[in-house]
Amino acid sequence: MVTPFGARLAAAVAERGPLCAGIDPHPGLLRAWGLTEDVAGLTRFAMTAVEALAGDVAVLKPQSAFFEAHGSAGVAVLERVVAESREAGALVLLDAKRGDIGSTMDAYAAAYLTEGSPLAADAVTVSPYLGFGALDPALSAAAANGRGVFVLAMTSNPEGGSVQRAVGADGRTVAQAVVDAAGERNAAELAEVGGELGSVGVVVGATVDPAAGLDLSRLRGPVLAPGLGAQGGTAEDLRRVFGPVLSQVLPTTSRDVLRHGPEVGQLRDQARRLAEELAAALS
């Protein structure tokens, strides 16, 4: 039987610390590194980040869109990032935010979560806003292949609130319904295979307002918390927002690490410092 993603994530965090480092080849960062805004620059940027981080960081999170922007050659670079990061021992969370229905969702699941696909990562981000049930192909493929899914729940962008904080007929916000559905999946997994952390995570911004009243107590899965560093989030925000479920939080940052490039040693040192700071903050 394959080892569930939740168990693998818990082991990686215990060994390497609670940091998810983004690999976001934003044009501005390419320029800051003195690189050209083309496939050559993309390749140098991405593979330098892998060299610096994949041997130390628990989770690497390449942002698919920045690779897709360069067409098929960019996607080929993304395939290298996934493969070489995993070979170096990092878990790879592909930030693709896919969400669709029927056979299209089946195809996304095959691309990102099925063994043998060149884009298959350890986990992928998905959007539930065509209905949580529409994610079944991804959730099933993840479970069968020991992989994970992180479902958008409550993001920190102001536009998200009109959907995520809308209240349904049962009195729950849409975001809470997403969290509860993820928790049901995790409860079923843990009842079957044991362990402490399920493989269905949610995405909750590190700077969201705790007054939104999101209850994560029954999630029993990881919480990806973007927004540290350049977006204004701090370790204190993590304590304020996540409180009792701090041990499940996987903070993620991109620019706070990547701005220290292009020197491999400086990138690695910054990631190590952040991982140590976060471990202290989340303990």
5-282 maps to CATH 3.30.1330.100? no
Q: Could you state, in order of their start, the residue ranges of all structural domains in the chain?
A: 5-282
Reported confidence tier of residue 207, pLDDT bands at 50, 70, 90: confident
Task: Identify whether 128 is preceded by a cis peptide bond (ω within 30 of 0).
Answer: no
Kind and range of the H or E run holding 15: helix 5-16
Task: Assess contact for 142 and 123: CB atoms under 8 A.
Answer: yes
Specify the pLDDT at position 198. 98
Instruction: Indicate whether 210 pLDDT > 80.
Output: no
Say which residues have a Cβ less than 8 Å from residue 221's Cβ, sequence separation at least 6: 6, 182, 183, 185, 186, 197, 198, 199, 200, 201, 202, 248
Catalytically annotated residues:
97
pLDDT digits (tens, 9 = 90+) for 95-137: 999 999 999 999 999 999 999 999 999 999 999 999 999 999 9
Mean pLDDT in the chain?
95
Instruction: Indicate whether 213 pLDDT > 70.
Output: yes
Listed residue (173, 178, 238) closest to 18, CA to CA: 238
Percent of the chain with pLDDT over 90: 86
Provide mean pLDDT across the span 151-159: 91
What string of H, E and C letters represents the secondary structure of 129-191? CCCHHHHHHHHHHHHHHCCEEEEEEECCCHHHHHHHCCECCCCCEHHHHHHHHHHHHHHHHHH
How far is residue 84's CA from residue 63's CA, in Å, rounded to a whole number?
16
